[in-house]
Structure 1
Amino acid sequence: MRPLSFGSWPSKISSATLSSANRAVNYPQICNDTLFWQEAVTDERRTTIRSLTPEGVANILKPPYGVGTKANIYGGQCWTPTPHGLVFVNKSDQKIYLATHQRTINISPKVAAYYADFHYCAALNSVFFVGEHHREAEHPLATIESIHLLTGEHQILHRTEDFCAAPTVSETGEQIAWMSWSKEVMNWDASTISLAALQNGCLNQLSSLETDPCDGVFQPCFYDQDLWYCSDRSGWSKLYRYAITNGSQALMVDLDRDIGRPLWLYGWSSYCFNSNRVYSVSTREGLTQLWCSSLQGEILEQIELPYSQLEALQSYQDGVVFIASNWCELPTLCAWSPSKGLVVLRSSALEPAETEWISKPEHLRFPTSGESEAYGYFYPPKHPHYHGPEHSLPPLIVMAHGGPTAANTDALNYKVQFWTSRGYAVMDVNYRGSIGYGRHYRESLNGHWGCRDADDVIAAANYLIQTKRVNAKQVAIKGSSAGAYTLLQALRRPSPFQAAACHYGIGDLFALEAETHKFEAGYNRILIGPLPAAEALYQARSPLFHAEQINCPIIFFQGLEDEVVKPEQTQLMCAALAKRSVPYAALYFEGEGHGFRDTDTIDQVLKAEHWFYSQRFGFNIDTNDLPKIGNAQDEVSIQHG
């Protein structure tokens, strides 16, 4: 290996690696012992459904069809296999179709809506799902609906101004349950399980389980004549059993770990049943494990697997199937059973990762404000041919995740490896408010958004500087959406940051509150406070109104079709910095929404961001094919640190 200045290393990990080498396998489902899953077809720009047959992998969904839903903006599971064929939402027209070997037919209700969270009930020959019906000048109406697959009969079973998700029907078809929560809150802060009798296509005896008003519930499921669900009432999301006959409730999987999770996307699954066993995946401090328990609640074993992240658990054969990943493997479809052990079925990667290029993270705990602690993953620079000059330390990029009720993991992420393979260290911060560390840690951001998260990203950088892992004079921060808001708030404080990359960030909290969609309509009330009572807090925590406190150079990236963070947020932040001659640059992308999807966009973003850091820190990089960067004040003003 040869010495070469950090930040200047050539790398084979490119924007193409990020955008084209990922099948994104997800949502395994079972029908008549056959395994199905969804998978991205990158060269066709669609998501298809595959199945595992004795002959190998079969493609179920032919072009021009592709699955995808716009429900709740973020979407999620919107298909299910049945003995009658594949029921799915087609992305291009948002209609429901039934695909058989012979043909694909439209079975969508006559009234247009967005649909998701499909569940098949064999006893009723019907699919049940969530509907989202849009109305002028009002938030959408949420529904539980069904379609009979033999007659085509469509029924709306339940309507609400609030939210519903995860409909599940008992094996006999006599009962139905689902998650419910108010549009004034988020599902992880206060939700419940609704339960009703299902008779002749109508709901009777509709009730809600008696839970704590602040419970966050997750994934109702009928099994063994009872209703199971997750609740975080104990401080961790654990599995409970509700006896339908007498209404009693019992804790069944008592681990101080999170089984349930905030429901951002429809269709997430963290436990299942097989052969009178309960299988669950649960997380604590970044590590997810597979556990097996009895129906009486006895923990039988923790199943050792070579993965640190597990999700989308389903019963399969005499065991389970799930999506797994770790520091050097993209999400992979796997099965485990007592008879066969672990079987790898399908990787998202077209080619295995070359581990000599992959930086392995270290999960760190570090001190932060208020005598508290926060967490993050530290990635040192990694290259098979270069190392930094003797006695030198690498530049640092601190990353703040979006949400904010979300988390980074140690799963292979080429958005991180792009930087580490070029000689940067990366700190992926799970600031207070992140998930997977228990309810108390998640709720510690409530009422303090824009404060504690900002303190934590600053504390992460200072911790790495103090422990002499990184160069104190070459520290950058980047974030997207809520993470970009954290970034802007951090730049208002004394901090070690000398460069920042703001991806569709929030500058004006009043505008966010006024323009946000239904799913997050109650989010700011939890994170900051209700208006008008909290007007002073919204003013104090909006970076746009305090831009005079920001002196760090920033590069902005914004999609012009973003419905979550409108382009005006970025435009106004740029104008505020320009008034004070703070160095900045901005790129806007037509056709892009909340999160960049187009391969050309991703390529331009990475090249521009790399150029921006190199200008700030004095690195020599290849500037060929650099995109046109709007509003970039002359490069001389973006001075070296």
Structure 2
Amino acid sequence: MVTTLPYGSWPSPITAELLATGGTRLGAPALVGDHVWWTEGIATEGGRQAIRRTAGSLAADGSSDHEAVTVLPAPFNARSRVHEYGGASWAVVPEPAGPSADPTAPSAEPPLVVFVNFEDQRVHALREGGAPRPLSPVGPEVESAHGPSLRWADPTVVTLPDGEVEVWWICEDHTGGEQGPRTDADGAPHIERYIAAVPLDGSAAEDLAAIRRVTPASRFVAHPRLSPDGTRLAWLSWEHPQMPWDGTELHLAPLIDGSAGEGEIVAGGPDVSVMQPEWLDDDQLMFVSDSTGWWNPWVWSSADGARQVLEREEEFASPMWALGTTWYQVLDADRALVQHGRAATRLSVLRISTGELSPLDCPLTQISTAVLREDGLLVLAGASPTEFAAIQTAHLDLGSAAGPGPSAPALSPLRVLRSSRDDAPDPSLLPVGESIEVPLPDGGVVHAILYRPRQEGIAGREGELPPVIAQVHGGPTSHVPPVLSLPVAYYTSRGLGVVAVNYGGSSGYGRAYRDRLRGQWGVVDVTDTVAVMEHLVAEGIADGRRLAIEGGSAGGWTTLACLTRTTTFAAGISSFGVAELESFRLETHDFESRYIDGLVGPYPECRDLYVDRAPLNHVDELECPVLLLQGDEDRIVPPSQSERVRDALAAKGIPHAYLLFQGEQHGFRKAESIIAALEAGLSFYGQVLGFSPACVPVLPLDRG
């Protein structure tokens, strides 16, 4: 029997508390001997990121006892602040740790772990069961740093030609060196980034001079890779105003006495994005480049220069928001395990000499990590349209050759090692995503994923269409993959529709689609989002009088721009959203401080566009209620952005609410913050869109 209830008022067991405390944020799985290690965010411990591992050894088929051990105890938090978004924050140093060690001798101690601690951003060393000890010093106080002036990310374990094992880090240095803190010609604080070797013996814990610089300083650096013979170093760099998806340079230099000079640039440039260099052997260097319009694999050698391995209208990489992100693993001099696709990701074995791809039967449509052990044990972190994000294992048989037939690589069924949701709701409550392409007047399309209201046994009232919420992702150079999402189910199980819009500028569809947003931020993203909503209304899927929009960061900008520039939406929620650009470019962090040059135009030459595009300057055109959510420690989009919108809404008498969460940065990690934000949002939508949500406190709205 089916019960009919108004859309939005359906009772649902998917509560805000379930989203905040029941799930686990998993990341960075790695194979260490016979164990799998990973990071795990713990919302009930203030969102700290712990390091964990399997208790028992994993067989080649991935079987284990599924128990987990916490390696990094509270209150330590393995999280980097380099670029503010961080990235890889820990590594395990293999034994032996020196040239005189016997590699055949069994280790009596747990492995050595190095990590950067979030609070002080110092590198620490730890052996399981012991106390962490610092390896890097506290940087001197620098006012413009808004926190520690020395920060570290992406530890890379290297073996030097003499057999010595070192750990190289990306250092973000706000100190200014011998000249001290200063500003550059453009008025921005002087910041250097470089690859540095941090001694494992603790000799640099109080002495920055004991840390050896491995590369020259650039504004940004990434992916240091030492050749197998230890003689040459490859790494990436880029300068303002480029972002890493706009243009990077691939450097190659000899390593002399532990350091590299300027070397030569072998690939990339201001308009070509190169990602993830990896050595195939002592002379061949593989990398991913978008020089032909898609991130495809290339190989460089001293004899032949650079050549493209294959050309496909698919992406073999994605925007590098987090340092240490990888998209493939070199298996030998002629094979690599690669991730590729468009909106969805596939897994294949690439034969480098021929460009042949051997697809693997893998159900995941989003893969963040894929690591293969020599015996064929494969560890994957990812999600699918029917499974929440998880760390999974399988056995990969590489076969004898690429191509069809019995010798082709084959993947066994996946086993869940650690799921982000051990309390997954009944499948009858979960949404089913529908990928749609909405035609545009210019002949192009907008990509989106539609989730209709769904809860078995409940339906909307006859003749009623559901409210639909447009979710616009941040970035804006990013995209929403087709995977199962509990935050989406929070809405759809209550009778609300959701559509995730991958507007022009989103990744996953090639450089031309990304470049649709160049100079057009606040225009293309708005028109694309409105086009999707108009399509849903025209198709009888959504109630055109009850459309809402929400997004965070750059998605908050698009949300506010849609609300102030169109009459499409009846309500909107901006989470730590950008509201204006002139002060934002001065207040935001260094990594994105020149991002707007490409999205809108250089300043001050394009000041008129900065003023005209800013939603804050068009609040007079806004007529619908707005909810603003913000973290008080956000250095990417500071609270001042939301507060300016709040004040403008109050001045005009528009119903609104502003919630400032203590101790939160760019995105909420604490359970109490997540619960409050979700319940406030649902109450807000109910009040504005005309439904009565069950079991959430009423959010008071300020009417000026």
Match of residue 169, structure 2, among 116, 129, 133: 129
Change (3 A) 1:214 1:149: same
SS in structure 1 at match of 2:545: coil
Matched, 1:24 2:25: yes
SS in structure 1 at match of 2:388: strand
Matched, 1:71 2:82: yes
Matched, 1:36 2:44: no
How many Å apart are 1:43 and its aligned residue? 3.6
What residue in structure 1 maps to residue 114 of structure 2?
87
How many Å apart are 1:460 and its aligned residue? 0.9
Distance in 2 separating the partners of 1:168 and 1:180: 13
Q: Which runs of 5+ in 1 are unaligned?
A: 635-641
Matched, 1:633 2:703: yes
Matched, 1:416 2:473: no
Please show how residues 36-185 of structure 1 align to structure 2 within 5 Å. 36-45=37-46, 46-52=48-54, 53-54=56-57, 56=65, 57-84=68-95, 85-101=112-128, 103-110=130-137, 112=139, 113-122=150-159, 123-135=163-175, 136-137=181-182, 138-149=189-200, 154-185=211-242
544-553 vs 455-464, which moves further: 544-553
What residue in structure 2 maps to residue 621 of structure 1?
693
Please show how residues 487-506 of structure 1 align to structure 2 within 5 Å. 487-506=559-578
How many Å apart are 1:76 and its aligned residue? 1.0
Matched, 1:8 2:19: no
What residue in structure 2 maps to residue 287 of structure 1?
344
153-162 vs 422-431, which moves further: 153-162
SS in structure 1 at match of 2:198: strand
What residue in structure 2 maps to residue 234 of structure 1?
292
How many Å apart are 1:148 and its aligned residue? 4.3
Matched, 1:263 2:320: yes
SS in structure 2 at match of 1:25: strand
609-618 vs 29-38, which moves further: 29-38
How many matched pairs? 630
Matched, 1:312 2:384: no
Change (3 A) 1:465 1:102: closer
How many Å apart are 1:42 and its aligned residue? 3.8
Match of residue 249, structure 2, among 192, 204, 221: 192
SS in structure 1 at match of 2:620: helix
What residue in structure 1 maps to residue 663 of structure 2?
591
What residue in structure 2 maps to residue 639 of structure 1?
none
Distance in 2 separating the partners of 1:178 and 1:34: 29
Q: Partner letter of residue 342 of structure 1?
A: P
358-367 vs 592-601, which moves further: 592-601
Distance in 1 separating the partners of 2:296 and 2:573: 38
How many Å apart are 1:218 and its aligned residue? 0.9
Greater strand proportion: 1
- Contact preservation (8 Å) 1:499, 1:553: yes
Matched, 1:323 2:394: no
Superimposed CA distance per residue, residues 162-218 of structure 1 (whole angstroms, 9 cap, x where no aligned partner): 100121222232222211100221111011112222222121462221435411111
28-37 vs 211-220, which moves further: 28-37
Distance in 2 separating the partners of 1:205 and 1:559: 41
Q: Partner letter of residue 124 of structure 1?
A: E
Distance in 2 separating the partners of 1:19 and 1:297: 48
> Normalised by the size of structure 2, how large is the TM-score?
0.85
- Contact preservation (8 Å) 2:267, 2:306: no
- Contact preservation (8 Å) 1:402, 1:484: yes
- Contact preservation (8 Å) 2:216, 2:260: no
- Contact preservation (8 Å) 1:281, 1:311: no
How many Å apart are 1:334 and its aligned residue? 2.3
> Normalised by the size of structure 1, how large is the TM-score?
0.93
Matched, 1:277 2:278: no
23-32 vs 543-552, which moves further: 23-32
Distance in 1 separating the partners of 2:543 and 2:153: 47
What residue in structure 2 maps to residue 252 of structure 1?
309
Change (3 A) 1:150 1:594: closer
Change (3 A) 1:5 1:306: same
Change (3 A) 1:313 1:538: same
Match of residue 391, structure 2, among 333, 336, 339: 333
525-534 vs 23-32, which moves further: 23-32
Superimposed CA distance per residue, residues 80-128 of structure 1 (whole angstroms, 9 cap, x where no aligned partner): 1122411111223322122224634435233531100111113430111
575-584 vs 452-461, which moves further: 575-584
Superimposed CA distance per residue, residues 228-276 of structure 1 (whole angstroms, 9 cap, x where no aligned partner): 1111111110111111x33611112433211111111111111012254
Matched, 1:435 2:507: yes
Distance in 2 separating the partners of 1:3 and 1:269: 48
Cα RMSD of the aligned pairs, angstroms, is: 2.1
Distance in 1 separating the partners of 2:497 and 2:74: 42
Distance in 2 separating the partners of 1:281 and 1:246: 28
Please show how residues 464-613 of structure 1 align to structure 2 within 5 Å. 464-613=536-685
- Contact preservation (8 Å) 1:238, 1:251: yes
Q: Which runs of 5+ in 2 are unaligned?
A: 58-63, 96-111, 140-149, 176-180, 183-188, 204-209, 398-410
How many Å apart are 1:150 and its aligned residue? 6.2
Superimposed CA distance per residue, residues 284-324 of structure 1 (whole angstroms, 9 cap, x where no aligned partner): 1x211001111314324111212211122223234442212
- Contact preservation (8 Å) 1:394, 1:424: yes
How many Å apart are 1:591 and its aligned residue? 2.2
How many Å apart are 1:442 and its aligned residue? 0.6
617-626 vs 500-509, which moves further: 617-626
Superimposed CA distance per residue, residues 509-545 of structure 1 (whole angstroms, 9 cap, x where no aligned partner): 1111121211012200000000111011111101112
SS in structure 2 at match of 1:462: helix
- Contact preservation (8 Å) 1:333, 1:346: yes
Q: Partner letter of residue 50 of structure 2?
A: T
How many Å apart are 1:49 and its aligned residue? 2.0
